[in-house]
Amino acid sequence: MRLDKYLAEAAIGTRKVVRNYVKNGLVMVNDETILEPASIIDETKDVIIYKNRRVISEGRVYYMFHKPAGCITARKDDNAKTVLEYFHQIDTGGLFPVGRLDKDTEGLLFFTNDGEFDHRLMDPESHVPKTYFFWAMGELNSEKKDKLEKGICISEEEPLTLPAKVKQVQSGFFSELESELEKDMDKKIVLKKNAGEQAVFSGYLTLTEGRKHQVKRMLKAVGCHVLYLKRVAVGPVTLDENLKRGQYRSLTKEEIDILENAEGQM
């Protein structure tokens, strides 16, 4: 195995980061300083030392995380809490999120130290579907639904969105559905005066691409305003209902295998 790959899988850092560690002489193999990140090692026999500490790799790791709203998908930030701050019991050195969710979006987010896994799921050419549950102000008639599903313009500088799937769950006035919305959001909603008379609806939107703020922009393009957004599935793998906001667990072997073959399964 390549030395940089071994170090990354041992959560010492990303492949890019550990290459610099090696080049800077911070890594030893069998008491010899190695300066070439691509050096081949025998992970079953060789002794790898980083900063006077033996490195033992447990191999590739994969986690499912229930991202809460209010934290950002980043390794570190001076002004906001990051998703990695929820991983208290493991070394997050080589761990990174697979894709990202907006600060105010919650739901399913994977973490791994496997770059190939990340590429398979996030490569635009793979068209791996992502499903979001939402609440929005406005109304969704058949014409709007048809536009969302066939492709819609969300910016003059961008092509039409790719075909999507839309499923409406509930619809009515805000005053009628306020308790349902607040139950999903787990907080009190404060809107402007007479908001109770405004139409709201909930539903699922499944995409095979990942443009910035895409769900919000697509619904805005048909005159609707997103109040709440939660990613509930990537490919055929859904968010574990037993995971509370901020909790995580390892992916099962079955889930990993499914995700590795999730291309274009909308």
102 is annotated as an active-site residue: yes
Using the predicted structure, report yes or no on whether residue 91 has a pLDDT greater than 70: yes
pLDDT of residue 265: 58
How many of the other CB atoms lie within 10 Å of CB of 113?
A: 27
pLDDT of residue 106: 97
For CATH 3.30.70.580, the residue range(s) in the chain are: 62-125+236-259
Q: What is the pLDDT of residues 199-251, one digit of tens each?
A: 999 999 999 998 999 999 999 999 999 999 999 999 999 999 999 999 999 99
Q: 3-54, which class in CATH?
A: alpha beta
Catalytic-labelled residue, pool 77, 102, 118, 240: 102
CA distances from 87 to 66, 84, 99 (A): 11, 5, 17
Using the predicted structure, report yes or no on whether residue 193 has a pLDDT greater than 80: no
Q: What is the pLDDT of residues 139-162, one digit of tens each?
A: 999 999 999 999 999 999 999 999
For CATH 3.10.290.10, the residue range(s) in the chain are: 3-54
Strands 32-33, 27-29: parallel, antiparallel or unpaired by DSSP? antiparallel
Into which CATH architecture does domain 62-125+236-259 fall? 2-Layer Sandwich (3.30)
pLDDT of residue 39: 94
Query: Does residue 1 sit in helix, strand or coil?
Result: coil
CA distances from 38 to 16, 21, 182, 198 (A): 12, 12, 53, 61
Q: Which of 17, 104, 108 is nearest to 63 (CA)?
A: 108
Q: What is the pLDDT of residues 39-52, one digit of tens each?
A: 999 988 999 999 88
* CATH number assigned to the domain with residue range 130-234, chosen from the 4 options 3.90.1580.10, 3.40.50.10320, 3.30.70.1560, 2.40.50.100: 3.30.70.1560
